[in-house]
Amino acid sequence: MPDSNQRGFYRIDYPGPARPTLLTEQGTREVIDLSESGLRYALFAGELPPEVGAEVSGTVAFRSGDEVR
C-alpha cells in the first residue's frame, strides 16, 4: 500500500478520540485527516461523497478549542 503522505502536502491522520469535527450546514462530522489543501471526513450513513475537488465549507473545531473556517 502506498504511503499516504507521498503527496504535495503533508497529511495529518487523527485517531478516533483525537479527531477534530467539521461543522457544516448539513451537520457535524468527524475529520479523519487533513492537509494544507484539504481534508477527509466521515460521511453520514447512506450519504454520497462529494466529487473529487468539490469545495466544502464549514468550520473545523479542534479538541484544543481552536477553530478554523
pLDDT tens by residue, 6-48: 668 899 999 999 999 999 998 999 999 999 888 999 999 999 9
Q: Identify the burial level of 23 via C-beta atoms within 10 angstroms of its C-beta, where 0-12 means exposed, 13-18 middle and 19 or more buried.
A: middle
3-class DSSP state for residue 8? coil
pLDDT band with cut points at 50, 70 and 90 for residue 56: confident
| Cβ–Cβ under 8 Å, residues 11 and 50 | no
**pTM for the model:** 0.79
Q: Which amino acid is at 44?
A: F
pLDDT of residue 4: 52
